[in-house]
Amino acid sequence: MAHSDVDSPVDTLDLKIPQLIHQIDSTDINVLRESVSSVRKALSIEKNPPIDYVIKYGFVPRLIQLLHFDDPVIQEEAAWALTNIASGSQQNTYSVVNLNIIPTLASLLSSPHPRIVDQSIWGLGNIAGDSVALRNLVLEQDVLPALLGIFEKHSRNTNILRNACWALSNLFRGKPLSDSHYAELALPTIARLLYLQDQDALCDVLWCISYVSDTTNERMQKVLDCNVVGVLIGILTKAERPLVSPALRTLGNFLTGDDIQTQTVLNHGALAVLAKLLANPKAEIRKEVCWCISNITSGNRAQIQQVIDSGILPTVVEHLLTDTAAVKKEAIWAISNACCGSSAEQIKYLVEIGSIPALVAGSKLADDITKVALEGLHYIAKAGDVPSSSSSSLTPSENAYKSIFKDSLRSLQQALIPHESRHLFHSILSMMGENIEEYDLSDASDEEFEMYDDVDVEVLSPALVLDEDEDEVTDYSISGGEDEDDEEDEDEDEDEEDVNEEDVAGLDELVDDFTNTVVIKTKQINQNNNNH
């Protein structure tokens, strides 16, 4: 982020380089001030500032030296010029970092001159925001404690507070996450900053806490322990436009946690706020709301019941049918997760609000979401597949939801079900008492469809597991967010062949084995870029 106070472009060709090179080494303080100011003004133009030009002619080392000069005007001008150089390309940023500018700027955070403090914060924020590597370098040079001290010392200076909040957010932005002790050091201050009245500063604080909370359950708990949920709910209740996205993202991060962490959020009235935000005109907000709901419905049955009691699910079904593709995908996750974890009575409610036709429609969106929709439909079918009350095994009972499924099966057949999901479709057909051979899937892959054979556990929702000992996020399951590759942890039977007439007779037994698997649902991790 370049710092500019120049309204009209400066013709860089008018820079008298030889003269400036001489003047910037002058012992005359007035000449020195004028020369540094000239360089800074040239670097402050909005379009194509001559950063490379200034670097080429060797001004950077001298500008860094002038940060130590015993004159606040020269220090400020030099810091300002270096801030704008650091806002350029990564190569430009390294041109100042390699000259050991970070500890110098950190020392200036304790300057008695607010304008110098402000410029130093700005420079450090630009460096930290360039890349994860430079972010870590800034943290390793003990900038964080000095920056945290700014919030008390300059609590009434709005400009400094805004820049300090922005720089703080850059210190926690990016993946992989920084070491946990940095977050632990900053969390008490971050929690206090959530009460700032300045909207610009508060917005950056909210993005900061969204980065800090996008982590493992253990580290997330330390954020929750700072009692921030109630503050976030209050911010979302007011629904001030710039603050909604980062506050909602943070709330969603908490909902990816375990059932206890999810319940903490629910206990603060999150569902009422989410219901209101689901009507937001911004599609990205509606998408995040559906993502939040999907992580609640992947919880326990009591939490699913709280979602049902809130009355929000019919609206989610409506968005599944009518909203943008991105919102629809998250809505499918919300309904499917509810189906997979619900009791028979809860399933009945989900059917009554139109979940079957909605999931059938959703199955046609894209391959990566077809399996999710089919999983929800499979568990609805399973809930309706009640045992016959007749003593004769020759008169099996009809599936309770067969009449609703009847009009949807052909439509579901046309969803171009991917190879790895066909076992779910065949399972649904079997529970509806349909002849599988009448539903030709040859327009999909001709490869064999896979059945779960001797599988005890199925992962139904996507989970990205962050190993704190590794620098990478490892995808251990299928995707529920955007721009991810589907993966499946299924056991393959290499001897299995395409289903034929002889195989159909034994299919029901295989389906029974499949439907008795134990289900473990995991939370969805939001994969949106955290840029704002």
Residues 251-295 have pLDDT tens digits of 999 999 999 999 999 999 999 999 999 999 999 999 999 999 999
pLDDT digits (tens, 9 = 90+) for 344-361: 999 999 999 999 999 999
pLDDT at 530: 33
Task: Return the residue matching tokens 């409610």.
Answer: 349
Across all residues in the chain, what is the average pLDDT? 81
Contact 318, 335 (CB under 8 A): no
pLDDT at 351: 97
Task: Return the residue matching tokens 């049955």.
Answer: 301
pLDDT at 343: 96
Residue 88 inside a domain? The answer is yes
pLDDT at 383: 92
pLDDT at 237: 96
Banded pLDDT at 156 (limits 50, 70, 90)? very high
In the predicted model, what is the mean pLDDT of residues 121-150?
Answer: 97
Which amino acid is it at 440? D
Residue 397 pLDDT > 50: yes
Higher model confidence: residue 404 or residue 183? 183
Strands 473-475 and 464-466: antiparallel
Contact 170, 128 (CB under 8 A): yes
Domain count, the chain: 1
Residue 238 pLDDT > 80: yes
Residue 415 pLDDT > 80: no
Question: What gap in Å lies between CA 378 and CA 384, rounded to an integer?
Answer: 10
Q: CA separation (Å) from 345 to 87, 285, 297, 374?
A: 58, 31, 15, 20
pLDDT at 3: 59
In the predicted model, what is the mean pLDDT of residues 162-167?
Answer: 98
φ, ψ of residue 458 in degrees (nearest 5): -125, 130
Residue 131 sits in a domain whose CATH number is 1.25.10.10
Residue 367 inside a domain? The answer is no
Residue 123 inside a domain? The answer is yes
Tokens of 189: 């201050």
Residue 407 inside a domain? The answer is no
Contact 185, 144 (CB under 8 A): yes
Residue 27 inside a domain? The answer is yes
Q: CA separation (Å) from 389 to 146, 157, 274, 475?
A: 74, 76, 43, 45
pLDDT at 365: 86
Banded pLDDT at 326 (limits 50, 70, 90)? very high
Residue 81 inside a domain? The answer is yes
Residue 126 inside a domain? The answer is yes
Give the range of the structural domain holding residue 59, as residue numbers without chain letter. 1-154
Q: What is the total residue count of the chain?
A: 532
Residue 124 inside a domain? The answer is yes
Most confident of 44-58, 183-197, 492-506: 183-197
**Helix then strand then coil, % of the chain, to nearest 5:** 60, 0, 35
Task: Return the residue matching tokens 């046609």.
Answer: 364
